[in-house]
Amino acid sequence: MECINLPGSFGCQCKEGYEPKSTSNSKIYGCKDINECKFNGACFSPDTKCVNTEGSFDCVCKEGYYPTAPTGGKYYPSYVTCHAEETQWREATIALGVIMGIAIVSLSLYIACQRSC
């Protein structure tokens, strides 16, 4: 129910995320979803796009951008941000490179030590 009946009144009050469908004599007859996406800044990150939902809205990562945590594409300003695929790939490559580097150095030291230690 998107409409909350007001006691002692024929009208009703719209729940959060809804706006009056029609009003007459300051009474509300039915409520409809607010399209928050039509307002600028609903999703303030430039890497996200706004998706209107019933009673609310979601900010999801734009095409070509991926959330930093598995959230089904949803963006949460404080802890899930969106990154371009290339960035993710580069970070993964750097991480893999560092691991491989450490492994090679460790193996070399181990082999060298086997011969001379």
The Cα 117–Cα 106 span in angstroms is 15
User: What is the spatial distance between Cα 68 and Cα 77, in angstroms, rounded to a whole number?
Assistant: 11
33 binds Ca ion (CB under 5 A): yes
| Structure token digits, residue 20 | 């009056």
Residues 44-63 touching Ca ion, rule: CB under 5 A, are 52, 57
Closer residue to Ca ion in complex, CB, 52/81: 52
Nearer to Ca ion, 74 or 83 (CB): 74
Task: State the minimum distance, in angstroms, from the CB of residue 54 to Ca ion.
Answer: 6
Per CB under 5 A, 42 contacts Ca ion: no
Q: How many residues bind Ca ion (CB under 5 A)?
A: 3
SS3 labels along 66-113: EECCCCCCECECCCECEEEHHHHHHHHHHHHHHHHHHHHHHHHHHHHH
Query: What character string, x for contact with Ca ion (CB under 5 A) and - otherwise, covers 76-105?
Result: ------------------------------
Would you say 69 and 75 are in contact if contact means Cβ atoms under 8 Å apart?
no
Place of tokens 């560092």: 98
Nearer to Ca ion, 15 or 90 (CB): 15
Compare residues 35 and 93 and give the one whose CB is closer to Ca ion: 35
Q: Which residues bind Ca ion (CB under 5 A)?
A: 33, 52, 57
